[in-house]
Amino acid sequence: MLKTIESLGDLTGKRVIVRADLNVPLDGTTITDDGRIRAALPTLTRLKDAGARVVVISHLGRPKGTREEKYSLQPVAARLGELLGQDIAFATDTVGASAREAVEGLVDGGVAVLENLRFAAGETSKDADERRAFAEGLAALGDAFVSDGFGVVHRKQASVYELAELLPAAAGELVNAEVEALRKVTDDPERPFVVVLGGAKIADKLGVIENLLTKADRLLIGGGMAYTFLKAQGLEVGTSLLDEERVDTVRQYLETAEQNGVELVLPVDTVVAAEFSNDAEPTVVASNSIPADQEGMDIGPETAKLFGEKIADAATVFWNGPMGVFEFPTFAKGTESVARSLADAEGYTVIGGGDSAAAVRTLGFDENAFSHISTGGGASLELIEGKELPGIAILEEDHA
């Protein structure tokens, strides 16, 4: 069990540091998807209503320990203020004079946002002492800590792990909801349990596949990773994405699936094109007839129909990774079809963050059509893989 906000006691007048995941996509200073900001609202609202003085910390992008204006959290703080309906104090640093001034100026129910954590090298340092020194600077600004950035709980970073050691700590509403939803999938899923995996890189999902071959009833493989599976069956994949080094491993997975009675379903047809472009002419071919000079860009209509049938009677469905190059409208139909199949399914449906969550929003689906949409692609995959997540383990009630 995770320690909850209730365990922190009366929060009136207390400075509560909230590690959120506000790593939203930006076009210049314009936020193109505010889903992660909205996901932080339940915890922030609860703390505000409890009279806490809320200090929000987060990263944005991947600055390398130095300030980069394009990764400033200022536009995010502005959007958060709009959503909360109140003025937000913004600090131009993390543990310096501006942060201290912003925190000291808070009243009960007030909110401050500190600048991007990753502008400080100590946040992501591989040196535990450096991380701890930075965490101590953050801890000096608060009386309690709430971890609510699920997208980073698989990282041993100063604001995720060491800060939770230094202050009374608890899981926020989002982290609790994420862990509960994903454990419902991993620990004892209702059956049939169907997993849909896509995306470009098979290397990112090897551990997940290995674990699921002992748990899932059906494994549907699409996206760029499918071509390594097709190659492992001895098929021509043209110029499609291919991980040559993993072909033998994937061949073993095919054998293991058969031995374990797991139905492993691969694309039966593929949308191919001569070049990687939205304007490229799409052609549908059987998956065993991909031309040598063509690249697979999406699952074909027969595969979309097949995947829909395999999802329809599922009691539990977990989906991670698009079925094709969904950023190009010409090649988004497979991803859209799988999303619609999940939306229509009567079972418990979980979308495992990352590009899958982005695709659902980009394609205009009602988020309420799914049981749970994770905010953390990497974190959700590692939980599904069965790994211990540092930022979760530190919040367990029995953590020493």
pLDDT recorded at residue 198: 95
Residue range 53-76, pLDDT digits in tens: 999 999 999 999 999 999 999 999
Same domain, 165 and 201: no
Residue 137, in any domain of the structure: yes
Task: Judge whether 58 and 149 are in contact, CB under 8 Å.
Answer: yes
Residue 392, in any domain of the structure: no
Same domain, 145 and 207: no
Same domain, 154 and 218: no
Please compute the mean of the pLDDT values over residues 33-39 and round it to a whole number. Answer: 90
Residue 316, in any domain of the structure: yes
Same domain, 143 and 224: no
Active-site annotation holds for 201: yes
Out of 112-116, 122-126, 343-347, 371-375, which region has the weakest mean confidence (pLDDT)?
371-375
Please compute the mean of the pLDDT values over residues 179-196 and round it to a whole number. Answer: 92
Same domain, 270 and 322: yes
Same domain, 297 and 220: yes
Same domain, 229 and 156: no
Active-site annotation holds for 100: no
Last residue of a domain, one of 142, 176, 210: 176
Options 3, 15, 19, 36, the catalytic residue: 36
pLDDT recorded at residue 246: 95
Same domain, 192 and 46: no
Options 354, 376, 377, 391, the catalytic residue: 354
> Is 90 exceeded by the pLDDT of residue 174?
yes
Residue range 41-57, pLDDT digits in tens: 999 999 999 999 999 99
The CATH number that applies at residue 200 is: 3.40.50.1260
Last residue of a domain, one of 128, 154, 176: 176
Q: What is the percentage of the chain residues whose pLDDT exceeds 70?
A: 100
Q: What is the mean pLDDT of the chain?
A: 95
Same domain, 225 and 360: yes
> Is 70 exceeded by the pLDDT of residue 347?
yes
Please compute the mean of the pLDDT values over residues 227-238 and round it to a whole number. Answer: 96
Options 51, 378, 386, 387, the catalytic residue: 378
Which residues line the annotated binding site for substrate? 21-23, 36, 59-62, 118, 155
Q: Higher-confidence residue: 185 or 102?
A: 102
> Is 70 exceeded by the pLDDT of residue 216?
yes
Which residues line the annotated binding site? 21-23, 36, 59-62, 118, 155, 205, 296, 327, 353-356
Please compute the mean of the pLDDT values over residues 353-368 and round it to a whole number. Answer: 86
Residue 393, in any domain of the structure: no
- How far apart (Å, rounded) are the C-alpha atoms in residues 385 and 286? 32
Residue range 266-322, pLDDT digits in tens: 999 999 999 999 999 999 999 999 999 999 999 999 999 999 999 999 999 999 999
pLDDT recorded at residue 400: 53
Residue range 113-151, pLDDT digits in tens: 999 999 999 999 999 999 999 999 999 999 999 999 999
Residue 395, in any domain of the structure: no
Active-site annotation holds for 218: no
pLDDT recorded at residue 142: 98
Residue 268, in any domain of the structure: yes
Options 67, 100, 201, 340, the catalytic residue: 201
Into how many domains does the chain fold? 2
> Is 70 exceeded by the pLDDT of residue 201?
yes
Which residues line the annotated binding site for ATP? 205, 296, 327, 353-356
Active-site annotation holds for 36: yes
Residue 278, in any domain of the structure: yes
Q: What is the percentage of the chain residues whose pLDDT exceeds 90?
A: 85
> Is 80 exceeded by the pLDDT of residue 242?
yes
Q: Which residue range is the domain that position 44 belongs to?
A: 5-176
Same domain, 38 and 127: yes
Last residue of a domain, one of 176, 202, 231: 176
Residue 400, in any domain of the structure: no
Same domain, 68 and 206: no
Which residues line the annotated binding site for (2R)-3-phosphoglycerate? 36, 118, 155
pLDDT recorded at residue 186: 85
> Is 90 exceeded by the pLDDT of residue 159?
yes
pTM: 0.88
Task: Judge whether 202 and 231 are in contact, CB under 8 Å.
Answer: no
Same domain, 72 and 210: no
